[in-house]
């Protein structure tokens, strides 16, 4: 039963050279983590689904790899499946009913685009009248609510037309989509109770809460493990990849932000990757700006637009903000922000002017100034620190500092690291008021950058130092005695396993780039010597065992 072997898309095999290079990066990062006082933990590859689901948004839930329960899972769902086959029809009837209600009640139609909340409430109470609520079709209040929400969404999708105006095919397609989504979710919950880790942060939060009584806080942990995402694979984006995270939980001290900047500098300097830029921002600065321009309720839209400044330019950013409902007046107040430039200090001065009416903004400035001052005093080896008020990554998540590291300017590559502070890391698991701050290194991108710049040391791909040619049983045994001594000295040595033709064995050494070959024939055995051939220079030496060790070492 021969199969053409392959691996799943988005995954990779690593050959010896790639493993060695990856380990060089891992070991450098690990070494720095440890000198900074971080301690390693490891968590299981899969977690209970309820630990992961709902922590990364709807899109994240979709990208989590679910594991099928073992055993005869179908038994659990088969009745449900048959029942659900009828569900679609019922759903269609319900939808039409909602449509009819909306059409009949002109007040509903009028308020349609104005007030989502009241529309929702009115539809719901009208459906109730019709006794369609809590019947066979919907089996929970939540279910019912989400159907009404879908109805509203579907109508928005369908170019603002009410459902009776939609052609039947469109309704059917939409309902099919809703139906499949719902049924998948419902079945998945029943046949899958475990899921592969999506990042290291949520499992870490789970770990902290679960082991809180064993942990001495503040707890500085690092974790270097793979994560899995069912993302569409593309260049540089994989379905299995490593994350290298260091976090501290249990202290709000800004010295930690200072140390994380030093840590980035230490790691990239050790990797000889000079000239990286550590960009920093603060969520409080972003909140402050939104407050000043009167867009506090549109913080996400505002920062998403601002984040694009580098890519699309000032004019388009303003355009996008306008389209999101931020006022002309507000946007004009942003002008000093677009003009912000120069050193960290001069940008801070500029921000003070812009944010003088915002308490949050002032606090953000204070934090940034503290961090910048400390870093100036302590100095960085090869990296530089830069304030970037447009930086907003993971905004929903971070509450204070936001970090991102860019590769040196001569390399085209997205961020090679990032992180920030999140004030309520463990709240999702019921442990309140535990502040966390952490950073992450992007292994795959760092690998590509080091490769592009030729920064992997030659010694990284540690190979076999010496191959003994196999001339037959007696010679092989004599060789293995020497090899044993070489290995005890830490020299990677091996015997060609078969007494093949010498040319074949020499070719093997060449192809594997093994630098030395030892030839042991009858003469060498009788004189207790070893003929060493330097595969680069071609020179040959007749040596004693001790000389052999000294020469290769």
Q: What part of residues 199-218 is at the interface with a second copy (CB under 8 A)?
A: 206-207, 209-211, 214, 216, 218
Assess 268 for contact with a second copy (CB under 8 A).
no
487: preceding bond cis by omega (within 30 degrees): no
CB of 32 to a second copy, least distance (A): 8
Q: Report which of 215, 222, 219, 216 is spatially closest to residue 200, judged by C-alpha positions.
A: 222
CA distance linking residue 533 with residue 467, whole number of Å: 10
Using CB under 8 A as the binding rule, the residues of this chain from 437 to 466 that contact a second copy are 462-464
Q: Is 78 in the site for a second copy (CB under 8 A)?
A: yes
382 part of the interface to a second copy, by CB under 8 A: no
Interface residue with a second copy, options 259, 367, 475, 524 (CB under 8 A): 259
In angstroms, rounded to a whole number, what is the distance separating the alpha carbons of residues 87 and 69? Answer: 25
If binding is defined by CB under 8 A, does position 493 make contact with a second copy? yes
Task: Give phi and psi for 243, each to the nearest 5.
Answer: -115, 145
**Identity of the residue, 62 or 352, whose beta carbon is nearer to a second copy in the bound complex:** 62
| Binding flags for a second copy, 280-319, as an x/- string (CB under 8 A) | ----------------------------------------
Contact between residue 359 and residue 293 where contact means Cβ atoms under 8 Å apart: no
Of residues 94, 258, 348, 469, which one binds a second copy by CB under 8 A? 258
Nearest distance from residue 232's CB to a second copy, in Å?
10
- Mapping DSSP onto H, E and C, the string for 207-231 reads HHHHCCCCCCCCEEEEEEEEEECCC
Q: Is 344 in the site for a second copy (CB under 8 A)?
A: no
Residues 465-484 that bind a second copy (CB under 8 A): 470, 476-477, 480-481, 484
Q: Give CA–CA dist 403/245, Å, rounded.
A: 13
Pairing of strands 466-468, 493-495: parallel
CB of 419 to a second copy, least distance (A): 16
* Residue 279, strand partner residues: 386, 404
Here's the x/- map for a second copy, 81-110, by CB under 8 A: it reads as xx--x-------------------------
Q: What token pair was written down for 248?
A: 């501290």
Shortest reach from residue 549's CB to a second copy, in Å:
13
Q: In whole angstroms, how far apart are CA 490 and each of 464, 466, 485, 534, 549?
A: 11, 12, 9, 19, 10
How many angstroms separate the Cα of 215 from the Cα of each of 250, 261, 390, 543? 10, 25, 37, 57
Binding to a second copy by CB under 8 A, coded x per residue (else -) over 233-252, reads -------x-------x--xx
7 binds a second copy (CB under 8 A): yes
Residue 367 makes contact with a second copy by CB under 8 A: no
How many residues form the binding site for a second copy (CB under 8 A)?
112
Q: Scanning residues 401 to 440, which ones bind a second copy (CB under 8 A)?
A: 428-430
CA distance 469 to 219: 54
Q: Is 65 or 403 the residue whose CB approaches a second copy more closely?
A: 65
Interacting residues with a second copy between 165 and 184 (CB under 8 A):
180-181, 183-184
Please, what is the minimum distance in Å from the beta carbon of residue 193 to a second copy? 8
Q: Is residue 482 within 8 Å of residue 548, measured between CB atoms?
A: yes
Whichever of 115 and 139 has its CB closer to a second copy, that residue is 139
For residue 254, give the nearest of 375, 344, 367 by alpha carbon: 367
Q: 150 Cβ partners below 8 Å, 6+ apart?
A: 178
């Amino acid at each position: 039963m021969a199969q053409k072997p392959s691996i799943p898309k988005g995954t990779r095999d690593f050959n010896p050279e790639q493993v060695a290079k990856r380990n060089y990066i891992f070991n450098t990062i690990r070494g720095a983590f440890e000198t900074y006082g971080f301690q390693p933990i490891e968590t299981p590859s899969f977690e209970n689904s309820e630990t992961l689901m709902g922590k990364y948004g709807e899109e994240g839930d979709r990208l989590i790899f679910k594991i099928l329960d073992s055993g005869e899972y179908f038994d659990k769902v088969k009745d449900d499946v048959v029942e659900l086959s009828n569900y679609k029809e019922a759903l269609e009837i319900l939808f039409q009913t909602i449509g009819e209600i909306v059409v009949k009640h002109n007040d509903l139609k009028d308020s349609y685009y104005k007030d989502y909340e009241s529309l929702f409430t009115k539809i719901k109470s009208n459906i109730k009248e019709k006794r369609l609520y809590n019947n066979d079709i919907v089996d929970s209040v939540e279910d019912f609510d989400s159907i009404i929400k879908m109805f509203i969404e579907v109508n928005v999708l369908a170019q603002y037309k009410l459902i009776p105006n939609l052609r039947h095919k469109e309704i059917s397609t939409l309902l099919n989509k809703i139906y499949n989504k719902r049924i998948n979710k419902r079945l998945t919950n029943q046949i899958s109770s475990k899921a592969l880790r999506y990042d290291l942060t949520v499992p870490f939060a789970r770990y902290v809460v679960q082991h809180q009584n064993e942990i001495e806080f503040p707890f500085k942990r690092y974790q270097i493990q793979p994560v899995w995402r069912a993302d569409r694979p593309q260049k540089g984006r994989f379905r299995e990849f490593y994350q290298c995270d260091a976090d501290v939980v249990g202290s709000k001290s800004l010295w930690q932000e200072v140390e994380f900047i030093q840590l980035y500098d230490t790691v990239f300097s050790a990797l000889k990757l000079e000239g990286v830029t550590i960009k920093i921002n603060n969520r409080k600065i972003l909140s402050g700006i939104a407050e000043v321009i009167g867009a506090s309720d549109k913080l996400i839209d505002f920062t998403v637009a601002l984040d694009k400044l580098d890519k699309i330019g000032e004019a388009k950013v303003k355009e996008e903000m306008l389209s999101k409902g931020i006022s002309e007046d507000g946007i004009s107040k942003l002008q000093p922000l677009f003009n912000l430039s120069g050193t960290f200090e001069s940008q801070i001065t500029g921000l003070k002017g812009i944010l003088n009416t915002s308490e949050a903004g002032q606090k953000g400035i204070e934090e940034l100034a503290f961090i910048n001052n400390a870093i100036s005093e302590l100095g960085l080896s090869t990296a530089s620190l830069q304030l970037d008020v447009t930086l907003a990554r993971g905004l929903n998540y971070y509450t204070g500092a936001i970090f991102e590291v860019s590769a040196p300017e001569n390399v085209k590559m997205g961020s090679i690291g990032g992180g920030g502070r999140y004030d309520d890391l463990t709240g999702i698991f019921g442990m309140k008021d535990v502040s966390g701050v952490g950073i992450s290194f992007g292994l795959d991108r760092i690998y590509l950058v080091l490769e592009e710049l030729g920064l992997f040391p030659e010694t990284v791909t540690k190979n076999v130092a010496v191959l003994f040619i196999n001339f037959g049983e007696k010679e092989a045994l004599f060789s293995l005695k020497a090899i044993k001594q070489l290995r005890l000295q830490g020299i990677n040595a091996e015997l060609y396993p078969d007494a093949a033709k010498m040319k074949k064995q020499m070719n093997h050494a060449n192809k594997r780039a093994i630098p030395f070959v030892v030839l042991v024939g009858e003469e060498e055995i009788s004189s207790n010597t070893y003929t060493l051939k330097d595969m680069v220079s071609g020179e040959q030496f007749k040596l004693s065992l001790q000389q052999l060790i000294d020469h290769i070492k």
